[in-house]
A and B are shown apart, each in its own frame.
Chain A
Amino acid sequence: EVQLVQSGTEVKKSGESLKISCKGSGYSFSNYWIGWVRQMPGKGLEWMGIIYPDDSHTRYSPSFQGQVTISADKSISTAYLQWSSLKASDTAMYYCARSTYNYAYGHWGQGTLVTVSS
């Protein structure tokens, strides 16, 4: 069974750094794109970027380029999303998702809630 398990809730202050994770199991982690999706409180889904774990090829949405870093460690089947300096506006639920069909995410993590206080 394909599973994506994300790290737990984070409560941080503005200016702090953060790295959240998404561990895949039940499939060949290296060979499927992993995407990250933001959902701000009460708002819609926003695509942030994707990574191909086998070679760490990464693409970002222009809205998130330079604001976050997406990485992966295929040896432990884990993808990451990190911030070097959080802002209050980064408060959101963050989902990782695995590409199942062309540009469609058939498997999702449970989400990581990030709360940033100013």
Chain B
Amino acid sequence: QSALTQPASVSGSPGQSITISCTGTSGDVGAYNYVSWYQQHPGKAPKLMIYEVSNRPSGISNRFSGSKSGNTASLTISGLQAEEEADYYCSSYTTSSTLSLLFGTGTKVTVL
């Protein structure tokens, strides 16, 4: 598998909640609790938002939450704000072949 599967786009109005899915396999997302989520604004480096499925680094708003069920991980943004319009990528540890990390295909979040 070359990439985890994410929806290409998700949109929501300010204040709403949105959820982005990240589907892998039993060799990556399903096997390990090493799923991370990154936010990337245009022209900027990615920023870690969630690690180990559901943990937030220091300084990340508690409106960002992560979860996992089977081979699918999810990122939920509650109380959506305009500045959260960005691309979001999941990643997972994998032992498929010699890969150590897989990124998702990326999701463009639009705040309506």
A100 and B106 contacting across the interface, CB-CB below 8 Å: no
In angstroms, how far is the closest chain B Cβ from the Cβ of A65? 7
Which bracket fits the contact residues of A? 20 to 34
A44 and B103 contacting across the interface, CB-CB below 8 Å: yes
One digit per residue, 1 when the CB lies within 8 angstroms of any chain A CB and 0 when it does not, for chain B 27-62 equals: 000001010101010000111100110010100000
A103 and B57 contacting across the interface, CB-CB below 8 Å: no
Q: Report chain B residues within 8 Å CB of A62.
A: 97-99
Q: Report chain B residues within 8 Å CB of A104.
A: 34, 36, 48, 51-52, 91
One digit per residue, 1 when the CB lies within 8 angstroms of any chain B CB and 0 when it does not, for chain A 84-118 equals: 00000000000101001111111011110000000
A-B contact pairs, 12 of them (CB 8 A): A45-B91, A59-B98, A61-B98, A61-B101, A95-B45, A100-B48, A100-B51, A101-B55, A103-B92, A104-B51, A104-B52, A106-B57
